[in-house]
A and B are shown apart, each in its own frame.
Chain A
Amino acid sequence: MNKTMITINNLNVLFGQGNNAIHAVRDASFTLGEGESYGIVGESGSGKSTILRALVGLVDNWSGEMIVGDQKLTSKRDKSGRKLMQMVFQDPYGSLHPRRTVNDTLAEPLIIHHFSDIDERILNALEEVGLGREFRFRFPHQLSGGQRQRIAIARALILEPRVVLLDEPTSALDVSVQAEILNLLVRLRADHGLTYLMVSHDLAVVGHLCKRIAVMNRGVIIEEMSDEQLRTGEMNEDYTRQLWVASKGYDLEALDKFIDFE
């Protein structure tokens, strides 16, 4: 493996206080090297998105250690950290400002980071995600779901980050559009040597993009598996195997053996 890009050690995230506190992430630890794709799968409420949100600083109440590049993350983030790591959100219908044009959305991070060649970078970014320059002055409502997600990816990449966090980037899209976005992500990683940390409930999407996959249940990473295990279905944990069987399609016989995991 190359140089380590992200190290997470004993990450704990708590929401709420006292007796009502919800322990969303418990003692999560993993590392990923530069240029690697790492996936996290789990059901809703398992804490997978919370890890990403803690990494980018959207969640405050965490403890443990998170190192990205050579920066140790604290509750206070600076601009260089933002430039190192960017995030693509799940719902392209909610993540773009409805009253700002594509140009405004893409220019904002560039202005904040004092770039001078804004025009050129915006046109480059649009081309990079497979949209022409005619999309530059459109509003989100003039774009399809796939086009919006391309804009969201362009916004994340316009600062040339080293790490991209992907929170269910294709779950709101049709399968044919999903394939296009996945291909785009594969190409961008190859072109720029990006490191991906991807979260999804869809085993096939994560399994397509990532070599190593962590499985989460109720805030705990219960297993880390390889792409080989994902192909053969030889997992160590029953929970993972059940998830794997369920993602293969409807099968009444297998269903009878399902149990609830606490």
Chain B
Amino acid sequence: MNKATPKAGTISRPLIEVENLSVNFHTPKGIVEAVRGVSFNLGKERLGIVGESGSGKSQTGRALLRLTSGNGSISADKMQFDGIDLLNANKKTLCDIRGNRISMIMQDPKYSLNPVMTVGAQVAEAYRIHARASAMEARQKAMKILEDVRIREPEKVYQLYPHQVSGGMGQRIMIAMMLIPNPQVLIADEPTSALDVTVQMQVLALLDDMVRVRGMGLILISHDLNLVSSFCDEVLIMYGGQIMERLAARDLHKAQHPYTRGLLDCLPKLSGNATILPILKRDPAWLEKVGQI
């Protein structure tokens, strides 16, 4: 479908290496194992992580930046970014990496933007902090990137507060804020689920450009199997905190695992005849420890 795909694995060394990552949450009702033994490498490519709610896909992304909330604990045999050990990095190292070298687009713009600051100032701030630029330069950069994420009339939008913009626009502002420091790795957690399909495609094209032109590594976390398979180079399918299957995106239709097949089959088709869709039957065996895939 997309011929401009750079070949996965042509780079010398992966940007991110993860081996046997687990995330556990300690709750009054016992330990919840959100992520169980996940391993993957990320080069200058587009890696998709697909799964349903509760599959651990978002927690995998958060663990990379050590953003797991207070009652959670992370363990891994290896979790490295560009040779830096993320698992044992101190606060200062993490501060240098977060937002600057690895940045993350959160799911919900309603809760992730500062409600008492104009959106333009927030985008410019992201640039000023990381690039130590002047206010004037930051403002110009912010305007430019707002235009890049297809916001019409950036001058007007610059002065608005988050409650004055629509969900889709808020999402694009977040994306602008995360792209402005020019990170090496971008973790995008459902970056386009609040957007209309055509805008969604345009935002993805922007991320695509960043990967191909600037050599960024992208982790796209999503529940949308179709979208991920048409956009990414490689896809991990997660269920119950484990990777069920690892596929080259173009081979998705050849997926073997019954969970992947079930997810593919239950998508509605453009048929108009309202047939009964096959229902995904969950096999308890999928939750058992599967080991490395």
> CB within 8 Å of B: which residues of A?
37, 43-45, 145, 174-176, 178-180, 182-183, 186-187, 189, 201, 203-205, 207-211, 226-228, 230-231, 242-243, 246-253, 255, 258
Contact flag A227-B272 (CB < 8 Å), given A176-B266, A249-B226, A258-B198: yes
B residues within 8 A CB of A178?
266, 268
Q: Is the CB of A249 within 8 A of B229?
A: yes
The CA-CA distance from A210 to B270 in the complex, in Å, is: 10
Q: Hey, which chain B residues are within 8 Å of A43, CB to CB? A: 196-199
Our pick among A174, A243, A249 for the contact of B53 (Cβ within 8 Å) is A174
In the complex, are the beta carbons of B205 and A231 less than 8 A apart?
Answer: no
Which of A44, A201, A251 makes the CB contact (< 8 A) with B166? A44
* Cα A251 to Cα B231 with chains together (Å): 8
In whole angstroms, what is the CA distance A230 to B272 when docked? Answer: 8
Chain A contacts for B271, CB-based, 8 A = 207-208, 227, 231
Q: Count of B residues near A, CB < 8 Å?
A: 43
Task: Name the one of A186, A242, A246 contacting B276, with C-beta atoms under 8 angstroms.
Answer: A186
Residues of B within 8 A of A211 (CB): 272
Q: Is the CB of B270 within 8 A of A243?
A: no
Interface residues of B, dominant DSSP = loop
A43 to chain B, nearest CB (A): 4
Given contacts A174-B52, A208-B268, A230-B272, contact A179 B280 (CB under 8 A): yes
Whether the pair B270, A203 counts as a contact (CB closer than 8 A) is yes
Q: A183 touching B279 by the CB < 8 A rule?
A: yes
A47 to chain B, nearest CB (A): 14
- Extra contacts besides A183-B279, A246-B197 (5): CB < 8 Å: A179-B268, A207-B268, A250-B231, A252-B205, A258-B198
- Please tell me if the beta carbons of A37 and B205 are within 8 angstroms of each other in the complex: no
Q: A176-B280, A179-B277 are in contact. Are A44 and B167 (CB under 8 A)?
A: yes
Q: B276 and A183: CB pair below 8 A?
A: yes
Could you tell me the distance in whole angstroms from the C-beta of B281 to the nearest C-beta in chain A? 10
A222 to B272, CA, bound (A): 20
Tell me if B213 is interfacial: C-beta within 8 Å of chain A: no
Which partner residue on chain B sits nearest A190 by CB separation? B274
Closest partner residue, chain A, to B272 (CB atom):
A227
> Which B residues, 249 to 278, have Cβ-Cβ distances below 8 Å to chain A?
262-263, 266-278
Residues in A neighbouring B168, C-beta threshold 8 A: 44
Question: A255 is contacted by which of B166, B205, B268, B275 (Cβ under 8 Å)?
Answer: B205
Given A249-B227, A251-B1, does the pair A175, B270 have CB atoms closer than 8 Å? no
CB of B200 closer than 8 Å to a CB of A: yes
* Chain B residues, CB < 8 A from A210: 272, 274
Contact between B268 and A246, CB atoms less than 8 A apart: no
Chain A residues with CB under 8 A of B167? 44
Q: Which residues of B contact A207 (CB under 8 A)?
A: 268-272
With a CB–CB cut-off of 8 A, which chain A residues contact B224?
Answer: 175
- Per the bound structure, the CA–CA distance linking A231 and B279 in Å amounts to 23
A173 to B286, CA, bound (A): 21
A243 cross-chain contacts in B, Cβ below 8 A? 197-198
- Give the distance in Å from the alpha carbon of A45 to the alpha carbon of B223 in the complex: 24
How far is it, in angstroms, between the C-alpha of A210 and the C-alpha of B230 when the chains are bound? 26
Q: Is the CB of B274 within 8 A of A37?
A: yes
Please give, as numbers and ranges, the residues of chain A lying within 8 Å of B280 by CB-CB distance.
Answer: 176, 179
